[in-house]
Structure formats: structure tokens, C-alpha cells
Amino acid sequence: MFMAYNFIMEKNYLELINQEKLPKHIAIIMDGNGRWAKNRKLNRSYGHKEGANRVVDIVRASSDLGIKVLSLFAFSTENWKRPLEEVNKIMFLIVAFIDKYIDELASNNVILKVLGHRDELPRNVKEKLDYAINKTENNTGMILNICLNYGSQLEILDACKEMIKEYKKSSEEDIDSLTVEDFSKHLYSDEYYNVDLMIRPSGELRLSNFLLFQAAYAELYFSNILWPDFIPNELYKAIYEFQNRNRRFGGL
């Protein structure tokens, strides 16, 4: 007699990853929390709660692997249009994430940064983020960018405004000689601003105003898995696929 299994064992993608060819910067649009909850006849908040658990798993997995930058889209400038209860739940989960994991992040050498308009966030969230940023700023390991009240078009506009102010007394020659690198310094992100691998779970095929400038040469990876089901093996699978693509950056 043999047993019938109604599932197929997934490969262990961690074993297949080449440590020498890791993407430096991975960006993830954490999508599908609402649908995950709806599929279980639960309130959308449960989807965000389980999504926050995957944040913990994916941050640990990325840091352990040696990824330099992980950028997570937690709340967009457009997400304020959601019901207040849902907005509050996401803010609560972010504060709870810091409360519970800041010591672990700090001892694993992670640098926590926030990309987006912090000033418009509730005061308790802002204070908690400031605390986490200060506590980890002298670390030297993985940069964890939490993108909060973030929109890429706004980021590009902010960079332009800053540059106009900075260069308004400069000569035309100086302005003509500005480079993409000069511009990138005015973005919210740091020196590893180029995204190598952009991941979007949940079956949607859009970038949704996320790191548009930084993703100019990113490999795009779309998956039908909903974010609360996006376990580390899904991340390893995305990295494995990334490593098997042919990146030419416009060359041959």
C-alpha cells in the first residue's frame, strides 16, 4: 500500500542559491493580505497581522543570507484612502513589530530606515520609528528600508525640489553637468539605491508607485502566492530565478 499525498513537496531553494551572485537590493510589494483574510472569511486585519509575521521571517532570512538592502512597501501615500480601522491596524502592527523585534534587529546588526513622509504619521508611530532608527544607525549589516507613507512619484518630486533649491545659484554649466548619481543622492534611499530584484506576490502585475527610479534595471518577479503565505522558501525561489536570468543592463 502507498499513501496518496495531495501536495507536492516544494524544492528547498536555499540549497540552490549561489552565495556569490546574491542580489544586493531586494524590494518587495507586500500584497494580498486582504485576499488571504477574505479566503478564510476573516476580517482584513487578520491578513495584515499574518503579513506582519512574514515580515519577521523574510527580514531574518534576508539578513542571514547576506542581502545588503531589503525594502518593504508597508504603506503607500494612497493607502490613507482605506478605512480608518485598517489604517490604524497597519500602524499598530508597525509599532508592535518594533517593540517586539528591535533588540533582535539591533543584535543582528540590521540598520532600520524609513522611506517616506514621516511627518504625516501619527505621533506615536513617528516616535517609535525615530527610536528604532537611532538605535540601529551605527550598525553595519543589512539595511531594512520600511517604506511608509511612501510614493515614488512624490520621492522624485521631492528630490527635484531639493535640487532646485540647492542649485538655484549655480551656473548653467554646473547644472548641465549633473549626473544620475547626483540626482540619486536626493532620493530617500542610500548608496545601494538600485534595486536588483523587485518581488510582487499576489498575482498583480504592477509596480504601484514603488521605487520606480531605483527599479530602472530591476529584475521583476511576480508570484501568485499571497503575502501572508510568502515563507522564506518563496524568497529563495525568487533569488534562484534572479540568478538564472541574463542581466545585460542595455549591453549585449
Closest CA to 33 of 45, 20, 21: 45
Q: How far is the CB of 56 from ligand FPP (least distance, A)?
A: 8
Q: Which of 79, 139, 209, 233 is catalytic?
A: 79
Where do we find the cell 528630490? 159
In this chain, which residue has its C-beta nearest to ligand FPP?
Answer: 34
With CB under 6 A as the contact rule, the residue among 17, 74, 114, 199 that binds ligand FPP is 74
Rg of the chain's alpha carbons, rounded to an integer?
A: 19
79 assigned to active site: yes
Letters for 148-187 (x = contact with ligand FPP by CB under 6 A, - = none) are ----------------------------------------
User: What's the length of the chain?
Assistant: 252
Query: Is position 117 an interface residue for ligand FPP (rule: CB under 6 A)?
Result: no
Q: How far is the CB of 130 from ligand FPP (least distance, A)?
A: 16
Instruction: Output 48 or 128, the one with its CB closest to ligand FPP.
Output: 48
Angle, alpha carbons 167-77-80 (nearest 5°): 150
Where do we find the cell 525640489? 161
- Which one of the spans 44-52, 159-167, 172-180, 186-194 is the region binding ligand FPP (CB under 6 A)? 44-52
What residue ranges in the chain does DSSP mark as E strands? 25-29, 69-76, 111-115, 143-150, 197-200, 219-222
With CB under 6 A as the contact rule, the residue among 23, 32, 116, 151 that binds ligand FPP is 32
Closest CA to 199 of 33, 57, 28: 28
Q: Which residues pair with 144 in a beta bridge?
A: 70, 112
Closest CA to 124 of 98, 157, 105: 98
Q: Which of 6, 12, 18, 31 is catalytic?
A: 31
With CB under 6 A as the contact rule, the residue among 51, 116, 151, 201 that binds ligand FPP is 51
Query: Is position 34 an interface residue for ligand FPP (rule: CB under 6 A)?
Result: yes
Query: Is position 55 an interface residue for ligand FPP (rule: CB under 6 A)?
Result: yes
Pairing of β 111-115 and β 69-76: unpaired
Residues that bind ligand FPP (CB under 6 A): 30-35, 48, 51-52, 55, 72, 74, 79, 90, 93-94, 97, 146
